Structure 1
Amino acid sequence: MKNYRNPLRQKLAQGKTAFGLWVTLATATMTELAIEAGLDWVCIDMEHGATDYRDIVEHARAARGSDLAVLVRVPSIAIDSIKRCLDLGADGIVVPLVRSARDVEAALDFARYPLAGKRGLGGERAQRWGLRVEEYIATANDEIMVIPMIETADAAAAIDEIFAVPGLDFAFVGPGDLSASLGHIGAWEGPGVAETIAQIVASAGAANITLGTYGVGPNDIRSRCEQGFRFLAIGSDAAMLANRIGSELSSIRNLMPALGRQIA
């Protein structure tokens, strides 16, 4: 095993735009499909989804040997969940509900080995069950991605302080939750939220922070790319499956009357 390298970090360092899939379903088949579709990363959602640590292992195994990165949105800013996801083979963590620079500092601290941080040294899957510890720890602090989600009004108000945290390279903007936090729950980008996002993008550019976000369709993704976002989720697995099933079923039902068939 060569020293650990993060495929998503490498692509972004090369100036590429990377596309990913938000994964809420436990089955690692979704990660296999993401690889076959040509995506660059997946984010396994432990904050809202039903996935657990066993599922993280299976998704990471499905990605082994590919150049697809496996990120995990941890349930909270806590050392136990962060270190366990990384030990199980995640290439990075997405940190929900960040409100301050202190939150970001804590997440970075939990994700890095001493002396840079407080991550405990385990002999788990990431370290090839203890057989490749030295190779992994030689580069893990530099390669692991810690990605705070900018999805609260507090984070937006403190954005310059957040982006000034030493060691922070990435952030992910969540338009829906940011809208809710600014008083527009249920709206993807409520009144004034576009201006707030523009301010976040400007601050990121000044601080050399690479931004990601979630898109809702090709036109939205194109717009986000034009704004400067570099890694983008094209959708979530369950929502995309449900939309495709619904679209197919609607088309089939529309054909039935022409055949003289009654439908339920």
Structure 2
Amino acid sequence: MSQIQSEGRTAVNEALRQVLSRDETAYGLWVTSEASSVTEIAGALGLDWVCVDMEHGYLDYRDIQGHLTAARGTDLTVLVRPPTQDLEPIKRTLDIGAHGVIVPLINTAEEARAASQHAYYPPRGRRGIGGERSVTWGLELDDYVRNANKELLFVPMIETQSGYENLDDIMSVGGVEAIFLGPGDLSASRGAVGDWEGPGVAEINLDILKRARGRGIHAGLVARGTDEAMMRRDQGFGMVALGSDIGLLIRQIRSMTNALDRATQHHSWF
């Protein structure tokens, strides 16, 4: 019986980091469906990353495991947005094998530092050591524990006015290589509830991007269509989600049905 070999393995997030190090845009997908085939398709299409969203909707830890299994054997980075900044969801997400976390609603450096403690092993953090999926049920525990602190991604979300005002302090927290923007919630926190980019938010997005790039930190956000994805790429965003899985499905179906309706209205049967 052959033994498990750890030598020569591809480091977690290596492919994504290579794209970012070349100052190129890494394209991803926001995953809201439990269907692991979504992540399998994302990997087959050559996307760089996905983020599986637990903050909103109904996905649970079993769903996360399915998405991670679907990405096995690819270079796809699978990030998870946990429902809160607390220890339990961050720890369990990483124990399942997530390649990193995008942590919601970070308002201060203190919040970012506390959440990062949940993601890293001592002495950098306070994450406990378990024998779950991330360590192949203990078979690769030494290798995983030795490399996790430098391989995993901890990505704070800047999605409130307070987060924006404390941006420099948040980006000063150790281990922050990337931040993710949430224009919709930022708009809401400024009084424009329901707007994706309320008054002043477009300018704030670009200011965040500029200040992050000045520190060598990558900035990401979700695009709402091809034109916006190209615009964000040209602006210099390092991580651009092409949309959400369900959102893309709705967009394509709506585009086709609208086109069919227009064609039907102009078609004469007599």
Report the TM-score, using the length of structure 2 for normalisation: 0.91
Unaligned runs of 5+ in 2: 1-5
Segments of 4+ moved more than 6 angstroms: none
Residues 77 and 107, structure 1, Cα contact 8 Å, conserved in 2: yes
Secondary structure (helix, strand or coil) at the match of 2:196 reads coil
Distance 1:90 1:129 in 2: 15
Question: Residues 11, 122 of structure 1: CA spacing in aligned structure 2 closer, same or farther, 3 A cutoff?
Answer: farther
Secondary structure (helix, strand or coil) at the match of 1:87 reads helix
Distance 1:207 1:256 in 2: 54
Alignment of 1:179-194 (within 5 A): 179-194=187-202
Distance 2:39 2:175 in 1: 29
- CA-to-partner distance for each residue in 1:72-108, whole Å, 9 max, x for gaps? 0000001110011111111110101111001110121
- Does residue 1:201 correspond to 2:200, yes or no? no
After TM superposition, give the deviation of residue 40 of structure 1 in Å: 0.8
Corresponding residue for residue 3 of structure 2: none
More deviation in 199-208 or 23-32? 199-208
After TM superposition, give the deviation of residue 161 of structure 1 in Å: 0.9
- CA-to-partner distance for each residue in 1:98-156, whole Å, 9 max, x for gaps? 11001110121100001110001011111011100011111110010011111001000
Distance 2:230 2:264 in 1: 37
More deviation in 95-104 or 194-203? 194-203
After TM superposition, give the deviation of residue 226 of structure 1 in Å: 2.6
After TM superposition, give the deviation of residue 231 of structure 1 in Å: 0.9
- Does residue 1:123 correspond to 2:170, yes or no? no
Question: Residues 201, 253 of structure 1: CA spacing in aligned structure 2 closer, same or farther, 3 A cutoff?
Answer: closer
Query: Over aligned residue pairs, what C-alpha RMSD do you find?
Result: 1.7
Alignment of 1:56-205 (within 5 A): 56-205=64-213
After TM superposition, give the deviation of residue 223 of structure 1 in Å: 2.1
Tell me which amino acid in the other structure corresponds to 1:5: V
Tell me which amino acid in the other structure corresponds to 2:70: A
- Does residue 1:42 correspond to 2:59, yes or no? no
- CA-to-partner distance for each residue in 1:150-172, whole Å, 9 max, x for gaps? 10010001111111112221100
Tell me which amino acid in the other structure corresponds to 2:50: V
Percent identity at matched positions?
45
Unaligned runs of 5+ in 1: none
Number of residue-to-residue matches in the alignment: 261
